[in-house]
Amino acid sequence: MLIKRKVNLITTLLLFYTISTYHVIVTSATLEPTSKIVEVKNDRYIDEFGRQRFFRGLNVVYKGFPYYPKIDAFDPVTSFTEKDMKILADVNMNVIRLGVLWAGVEPIRGKYNETYLRIIKSIVDKCNLYGIYVLLDSHQDVMSEKFCGEGFPRWAVRTEGAWPFPLPLGLAARYDPITGLPDKRTCGRLNWALLYFSRAANVAWQRLYSNYDGLRDAFAAQWAKIASIFKNSRNLLGYDLLNEPWPGDTYVNPGLWFPKINTRKNLGPFWDAISDKLRKVDNNGIIVYTGVTWDLFGNRYDHVPGGPIYQNRSVFGYHYYKEVRIRPPKFDFKVHIEDLNRTGGASLLTEFEAAYNNGKNLPGLLTIIQAADKYLQSWIGWQYKDFFPLTRQLLGDGLVDPKSGKVRPDVATVFSRTFAEAISGNAISMKFDKKGFNLIYKINPSIKKPTVIKIQEKYHYPNGFIVNISPKGKVEWKKKGNSILINPIRGVNIKNGEVIAVNIVAR
| Same domain? 287 vs 436 | no
Pairing of strands 451-454, 483-488: antiparallel
The reply to whether 425 falls in a domain is: no
Given pLDDT bands bounded at 50, 70 and 90, which one contains residue 116? very high
Give the number of other CB atoms < 10 A from CB of residue 264.
Answer: 14
- Answer whether residue 87 is part of any domain: yes
Side chain identity at 317, as an amino acid letter? G
Where residue 328 falls among pLDDT bands split at 50, 70, 90? Answer: confident
- State the pLDDT at residue 394: 64
Mean pLDDT of 249-264: 96
Tens-digit pLDDT profile for residues 276-296: 999 999 999 999 999 998 888
Global model pTM greater than 0.85: yes
Looking at the structure, tell me whether residues 311 and 436 fall in a common domain.
no
Domain of residue 444, residue span: 432-506
Q: How many CA atoms lie within 13 A of 156 on its CB side?
A: 32
Choosing from 383, 417, 451, the residue where a domain stops is 417
In sequence order, which residues have a C-beta less than 8 Å from that of residue 474 and are 6 or more positions away? 443, 488, 489, 492, 494, 498, 500
Q: State the catalytic residue, choosing from 106, 244, 351, 421.
A: 244
Using DSSP's 3-state secondary structure scheme, residue 353 falls into: strand
- One domain, residues 389 and 344: yes
* Residue 94, domain member (yes or no): yes
Say if residue 389 is in the same domain as residue 463. Answer: no
pLDDT in the model for residue 322: 80
Q: Distances from the Cα of 460 to the Cαs of 381, 409, 416, 436, in angstroms?
A: 21, 11, 8, 9
Q: Which of 34, 105, 33, 48 is CA-nearest to residue 284?
A: 48
351 catalytically annotated: no
Q: Are residues 92 and 117 in the same domain?
A: yes
Residues 358 and 452 in one domain: no
Determine the angle formed by the axes of helices 268-279 and 215-230, rounding to 10 degrees.
40
Give pLDDT tens digits for 341-367: 999 999 999 999 888 888 989 999 999
- Does any domain span residue 475? yes
Number of domains the chain is built from: 2
Please tell me which residue, 82 or 390, carries the higher pLDDT value: 82
Predicted local distance difference test score (pLDDT) of residue 395: 66
Instruction: State the pLDDT confidence band at 388, using cuts at 50, 70 and 90.
Output: confident
Shared-domain flag, residues 190 and 305 = yes
pLDDT tens digits, one per residue of 393-441: 666 678 999 999 999 999 999 999 999 999 999 999 999 999 999 999 9
Domain-embedded: residue 440:
yes
Answer whether 145's CB lies under 8 Å from 157's CB. Answer: no
